[in-house]
Amino acid sequence: MLAVEAVTDLEGFRALKGDWNALALEANSSIFQTWEWSWYWWQFNGKGKRLWLLTARDSGKLVGLAPLFVSSSYYGLPLKVAAFIGTNGTDYLDFIINPDIPGAAEALVGFIFGQAGWDALDLHQIPQASLTADLISTKAKSCGFAAEKIIQDLAFNTELPDNWDDYLVTLSKKFRWNVQYYTRRLNREHEVVFRLSDVQSIEKDIGLFFKLHQKRFMAKKKPGAYLNPKFRKFHAGLAAALQKCGWLSLYVMEIDKEPVAALYGFSFADSFYYYLGGFEPTWGAMSVSTVLIARAIEDAISAGLHNFNFLRGQESYKQKWQAQESANYRLIVSRPGKKSGLAQKMITLESDLTKRVKSKLEG
């Protein structure tokens, strides 16, 4: 018999850590569904929000989790909107469900619709392969609620073969030549070292990554992701926590003992997640970023991982690595009535505006 409960305080949140991560691994969820990602996101973004962590247990074992919060207002209006912890800045968001326990997701959805403490649901970045959006939409319509499912972003993933040579032959002839040529040339003309951050170097290396990332984007006359001090503090704390778990893959590429490129990624379950990169613009002509990504992919294959996930964003380089696109969905649900209808209209308008701004920035 499944029992669903709501955790609404920090002590309860903290106590879920072990069960939460065990479930995320059982469910083959992404790094973004780990306790660490959610905990650190909440520390920097939880102000003015109410925790609403919904747990489904079978004979005491955690088999389902809906990591939600409820906002106390929406753009200054007294509208209660429920959303995923991690909304904004997180590439995949979803329920975490043990695939061997039938009914766990349905139990969580039923609990949500049985509660009166929200006017609308605004669920971001639900992966295309997930059943969550359709499950909630079906339940919403059966209850007479309005539901709108829209494509929010495109994400890119490469399925990895068993060895590096088999992967290389999937690349175009020209791009494969570039990868091999610049790798050989750099090693022939310079002393090249790739290293992964460890517990002693993580604090220094995450700062180095921030610097290289900003240099790359300033050279392109774009703001980059880490100008916001709060965002930097979030990732500095998160990276240190993930390093302790063995899930951080922060690469630093050194040429002649000088750091020239960094790759901030994560290894979790069967996937590598390439979050962001950066490099010294003066080394751009030597394709140091491409060489570093190649090294990370080769390492992921050697580690037996099945996916190299390039995450959201339609940057053209991803397709050169044979990454295939899939959609991330945003699901907006509102109750019958003027107040909830207003919430849905505002969320839809905000979604449209965000897409337009993102389109201009990417263009």
Give 353's pLDDT tier (boundaries 50, 70, 90): low
More confident residue, 261 or 227: 261
Residue 314 covered by a domain: no
Do 172 and 263 fall within a single domain?
A: yes
Are residues 18 and 99 located together in one domain of the fold? yes
DSSP track, 171-185: S-HHHHHHHHHHHHH
The pLDDT value given to residue 359: 53
pLDDT at 342 over 80: no
252 with 109, same domain?
no
Q: Are residues 190 and 125 in the same domain?
A: no
Range of the domain at 23: 2-155+326-362
Residues 172 and 294 in one domain: yes
> What pLDDT is stored for residue 361 in this prediction?
46
Q: Is 71 in the same domain as 192?
A: no
pLDDT given for residue 339 in this prediction? 58
- For residue 251, the one-letter residue type is Y
Q: Is residue 279 part of a domain?
A: yes
180 lies in some domain: yes
Band the pLDDT of 352: cuts 50, 70, 90: low
Same domain, 198 and 233: yes
320 within a domain of the structure (yes/no): no
Residue 351 scores a pLDDT above 80: no
Same domain, yes or no: 147 and 208: no
CA distances from 266 to 31, 58, 98, 243, 300 (A): 7, 30, 22, 9, 10
Do residues 130 and 103 make contact, with C-beta atoms less than 8 angstroms apart? Answer: no
Pair 329, 126: CB distance under 8 Å: yes
CATH code where residue 77 lies: 3.40.630.30
Residue 189 has pLDDT above 50, yes or no: yes
On whether residue 231 sits in a domain, the answer given is yes
DSSP-derived 3-state class of residue 63: strand
- Say yes or no to pLDDT of 209 above 70: yes
Q: Are residues 16 and 62 in the same domain?
A: yes
Q: Is 316 helix (H, G, I), strand (E, B) or coil?
A: coil
Domain count, the chain: 2
Asked whether residue 315 is assigned to any structural domain, the reply reads no
**Statement: residue 358 has pLDDT above 60:** no
pTM of the model: 0.92
> How many other C-beta atoms are found inside a 10 Å radius of the C-beta of residue 109?
21
Q: In whole angstroms, how far apart are CA 312 and each of 90, 102, 191, 293, 294? A: 9, 30, 34, 16, 19
